[in-house]
Structure 1
Amino acid sequence: MRPENKPTGQESGSFIERARRAQIIASAIEVIADQGFANASLARIAKHAGISKGVISYHFAGKDELMEQVVDQVYADIARYVLERMEGHKSATALLRTQITAVAQHMREHRSQVKALGEIFYNLRLPDGTPRYGVAASEELFQSLELIYRHGQESGEFRLFDVRVMAVSHTAAVDNMFAYWVTHPGHDLDAHARELADIFVHATRAEGALP
């Protein structure tokens, strides 16, 4: 839902407008990561961006919408990065390894995004008080991981198992990898991701299949 006074026509969606929204989202990420969700007021975010609070209100209906746009943007960036690195891989094993290690590679350079996502996931609520980003919000991710696992079963690389259980377990393991890394900044994230990839490859591999 956009503010009622937002103009329409050629100016809507212009390069300048998109750049301003990207600037606000970037500032929101930094403020949330540094000061926490509760302290990330629109006024603080505006100050960080060097703009007035009214500019944020022009582009976003409120804090909740801005937080949702932060999540959408971060996940779009992750997906773009990971898919580029998965391109050309044909085996399910290679796709599985790349999915896990590429996510870690991308987020290693974006620690603020990891911290901001954690704050938003824990704090952003629906009107009834339930988390905005609960398990139900991960359905698209679960389905994308199921494609890899199902491909491995069809190719004979992976044993038979419940692909939904594996996708949920995969997601939880990656989420906890990042949670541990945020708490322990010196932790080797790339090594953790490689070890995690090994765990899932060994857990899913069909008897006699090559690693």
Structure 2
Amino acid sequence: MNQVYKNIVSTAEQLFLENGLDIVQMQDIADAVGIGIATLFRYFPKKDKLIVAVAVQNLERTLPQLEQIVQSKKSAYERLEDVLNYLLKNQTAQKMNATKFREAFESYASFTKEPLADIEFYIEMQKKIANILIPLMEDGKMDGSFRTDIPIKETIITIINAYGTFGNNIALKSPITYTEEDISPHVQQKALKEILLSYVRPR
């Protein structure tokens, strides 16, 4: 990827976050990057291709941290907890923007009549993330830190998806859903983490 490509994708992500996927036009992106519309279309002939490229880059940012966690020398159970802790702490302003974009993208993709152009690249990135977690699952069987009477691959993927989805949802909606009298999103996230982790611990 050359610098122009990177600038287009980064600028598009910011504009999509500020104004919404449907509102932003290709001309808006070209103007913000400082290139001609013809140049933009050489890189991305369709707006949907650019939207997917932003979504792929968005997911790709999580790879280094997940790889580092999974490759540590801790037990599989401890590494799973570290993955969930990473998701819990994944709420700085920049990371919350990444979360907001993923939520917007998945909603946008679900309402399209036809599959988005290049959506296979997004699916492949999801598979890549899942594959990073495979050593965690295998090590859990070897070191005895996971139960052996449950399908561990399906369980771990479900735990991470459920926790990530819940965490994103509750964090994004907290300004309009929760008052001071309610249990804070952070407390609810920690409670769910303990519930999910307790399920995989050996009985």
Residues 1:139 and 1:46: Cα distance change in structure 2 (over 3 Å):
same
Q: How does 1:39-188 map to 2 (within 5 A)?
A: 39-108=23-92, 109-124=94-109, 129-130=114-115, 132=119, 138-160=126-148, 161-166=150-155, 167-185=157-175
Offset at residue 106 of structure 1 (A): 4.0
Between Structure 1 and Structure 2, how many residues are aligned? 190
**What residue number does 1:8 align with?**
none
Matched residue type, 1:156 = G
Say if 2:21 and 2:104, in contact at 8 Å, map to a contact too. Answer: yes
Alpha-carbon separation, structure 1, partners of 2:135 and 2:175: 32
Compute the TM-score of the two structures, normalised by the length of structure 2.
0.75
**What residue number does 2:197 align with?**
201
Q: 1:137-189 deviations in whole A, cap 9, x for unaligned?
A: 64444444454234213321111212243112431331221122112259877
Compute the TM-score of the two structures, normalised by the length of structure 1.
0.73
Residues 1:37 and 1:127: Cα distance change in structure 2 (over 3 Å):
closer
Matched residue type, 1:48 = A
The one of the two structures with greater contact order (alpha-carbon pairs below 8 A, sep at least 6) is 2
Answer with 160-169 or 188-197: which moved more.
188-197
Say if 2:174 and 2:185, in contact at 8 Å, map to a contact too. Answer: no
Q: Gaps spanning 5+ residues in structure 2: where?
A: 179-183
Say if 1:46 and 1:52, in contact at 8 Å, map to a contact too. Answer: yes
State the identity as a percent: 15
